[in-house]
Structure 1
């Protein structure tokens, strides 16, 4: 990074900013991109008019951390207003990996249009957010944008039904945002939307009579062997009975995210070198990996679960240094917190079927105790738009600064992306 960009980042105080990334999925439910959400704390920087105005500051810092660590192989969608558009933050951004979202409130002037044309010529792509179709500004901007975002919470179905074909005829890629239920997803899929943003995929759709796949049952059996005092040889035999499982386990334990110095070539090596707790971790990850084999598309639920697990683990390491078992329990809480969505059954049933200690059960069912506080913080960050006012109190409760949080988040994003690449 250049001396100028270092200077720019130093000049901009980054106090009480935090960062979220919301997945954008394609029609096959694979990961397509993330909207990057930057927030500044209320009160601290009250003179900053909007979160968008904070974007330039945080992008400079995120660029120093490495934006590619935050978005992995996906596209990053970033909100920009006129002020940001006119700034020189674009030297920080990998143009082929970024889509700039023009906020609906932006006043479109000739200089703004010229700037967008100039950035487009340099390879930047644009999206139009929260579109009000008949506004004259929208008509000026439409020819210059590749994506149009429509908010399914703000627009009635009749409006979506009328608008979607209009934009499709103009060859725009359509993104439905704030999709919170499977029904909303299905409706938007039927209307021809290309991409979907929201946490509908992480909601437990409880389907009666739904059965776990044979591979998931095998993994669960293995997990109970690992947590009980079964002999290593017994665990090895169980793994070897399922060839695919054995292959996937070896591939996972050799992921670069582990940092093993030597390659693990056999199941017996995996069992002895990794130890029970590490083996438990990879089995938990495999529960999410198995049912989501879709070629190379990244499973959003697997990404979210591994990110949560790792973030909780890193927070626990920071807050309770030297207590390794606490960090490992935190990982389990994070990854188990989405098993209701994975299995399509209530969390209370899962906690009965997978034996966990009381602290884990309380965290998963009531969000109470130390692990519950960590999980609550992670969920607030994910749903930053709705839980904006809860992030800072949660940070203060845990005595973690926003700078520390961003550092741990970026580490968790990077770890999760590495692991998931090996898991699918």
Structure 2
């Protein structure tokens, strides 16, 4: 029987790590203790090891990561213990916290861990010379760009160019910051910038965006199949992606699906609407499997649906609205328009609109939980879970299931 340590509230955060081309390359796993709704880092070595073991052995998060690297924060005690070696067969980067004291035993242990397959990252480097002996050992150095002014950040970057390390910029929260960091020489990026709209005065809708909005409106108003099919025909690329997806997930069928109406009869209207919602996030270029916005939208929708099924087991319509709320919640970033403007255009149901704009109602609570898991901020998660009749383990299990599903579906969509 696998249980979380001492029935402690432990929250799991999952943050995306992107490369210069804004493609997903890794996740960071953030374990937080949520006692008394004051979420903080786990500071007990045994408890941390138990939680990691629970996530990888019981929830099988390693399989859900679908081959992507995962970063895990470790303190000195856990780094020095044998317990961490259970992860040696996973694609794991051990992230040394900035609180570790660097000494010869620590450096030797880092070299040992690298020999058995781990990559190493140094967290929150601030040009502290006591950490310099690690710069020839670690693979990645993370720099929180909010911890110092920009000239100081550039000074750190220039210093680190003398070492064989990749640079990861943390707390990148805007498109402008991403461009600034990329120009400075950072290789990897962590933050919420890709999920925020890049608003430009006077920007006009691209033709495919107008079709996207029309399709969403038709889906939300439960329009006849013929109207949806006619709208799809206005974007040949979108139509082709939809048929590819339906055929790939319907393997085993004797007849290849070649029309929208045929696909509705085979897989059902409800499922087809879900594919359409996700397809709105597919990039025009052939890098669907790397698209962070698509992956985040898929994960958010599935997480909210899974939790909705726990809240109201027999209310299938509520499950569907939860999924749709998760998908719609990133449309402002997709379309680079204010969320209020997007909602006016697509006119969703009132409870969905209230959840998107005000985080109100049950759907708003589910959306808040989804955003907390993405940002690793769980200060009020306990209250939200209680209001929805959910437990911490419900959230953790739903997260891993949503991660598994989002990685699977984006792989299907890329084929």
TM-score normalised over the length of structure 2:
0.91
Q: Which residue of 2 aligns with 1:262?
A: 253
SS in 1 for 2:32: strand
1:276 aligns with 2:285: no
Shift of 1:219: 3.5
* Cα 1:290–1:118 shift into 2, 3 Å: closer
**1:53–1:83 CA contact under 8 A, matched in 2:** no
Instruction: Tell me, yes or no, if structure 1 residue 217 matches structure 2 residue 210.
Output: yes
The 3 A distance-change label for structure 1 pair 134 and 45 is closer
Correspondence list, 1:113-262, <5 A: 113-136=107-130, 138-228=131-221, 230-240=223-233, 242-256=235-249, 262=253
Q: Name whichever of 169-178 and 11-20 sits farther off.
A: 11-20
Q: Mind listing any 5+ residue stretches in structure 2 that lack a counterpart?
A: none
Q: 2:291 aligns with which of 291, 299, 324?
A: 299
What SS does structure 1 have at the residue aligned with 2:25?
strand
- Alignment check: 8 A CA contact 1:20 1:38 kept: yes
Residue 39 of structure 1: aligned partner: 32
Structure 1, unaligned runs of 5 or more: 1-5
Contact 1:298 1:421 in 2 (8 A): no
Rate the CA distance shift 1:247–1:196 in 2: closer, same or farther, 3 A: same
Give the Cα–Cα distance (whole angstroms) in 1 for the partners of residues 204 and 162 of structure 2.
42
Aligned to 2:344, the other structure's residue is in SS state helix
Is the contact made by 1:40 and 1:54 (CA closer than 8 Å) also made in structure 2? Answer: no
The equivalent residue for 2:16 is: 23
Query: Compared with structure 1, are the counterparts of its residues 56 and 353 closer, same or farther at alpha carbon in structure 2 (3 Å cutoff)?
Result: same
Task: Spell out structure 1 runs of 4+ moving beyond 6 A.
Answer: 44-49
The Cα shift of 1:222 comes to 3.4
Alpha-carbon RMSD = 2.6
Does the alignment pair 1:422 with 2:412?
Answer: yes
Q: Measure, in 2, the Cα distance between the counterparts of 1:151 and 1:274.
A: 46
Match of 1:397 in 2: 387
Asked if structure 2 preserves the Cα contact closer than 8 Å seen for 1:226 and 1:279, the reply is: no
| Contact persistence 2:288–2:410 (CA under 8 A) | no
CA contact (8 A) 1:79 1:103 kept: yes
Alpha carbons 1:59, 1:92 under 8 Å: kept: no
Separation (CA, whole Å) in 2 of partners of 1:216 and 1:389: 37
Paired residues in the alignment total 411
- Partners of 1:255 and 1:418 within 8 A in 2: no
Is 1:407 equivalent to 2:397 in the alignment?
A: yes
Q: Which residue of 1 aligns with 2:51?
A: 58
Greater RCO, 1 or 2 (C-alpha within 8 Å, sep 6+) = 2
8 Å Cα contact 2:73-2:95 kept in structure 1: yes
Matched, 1:356 2:348: yes
CA distance in 2 between counterparts of 1:11 and 1:383 reads: 22
Once residues 205 and 411 of structure 2 are traced to their aligned partners in structure 1, the CA distance between those partners, rounded to angstroms, is 23
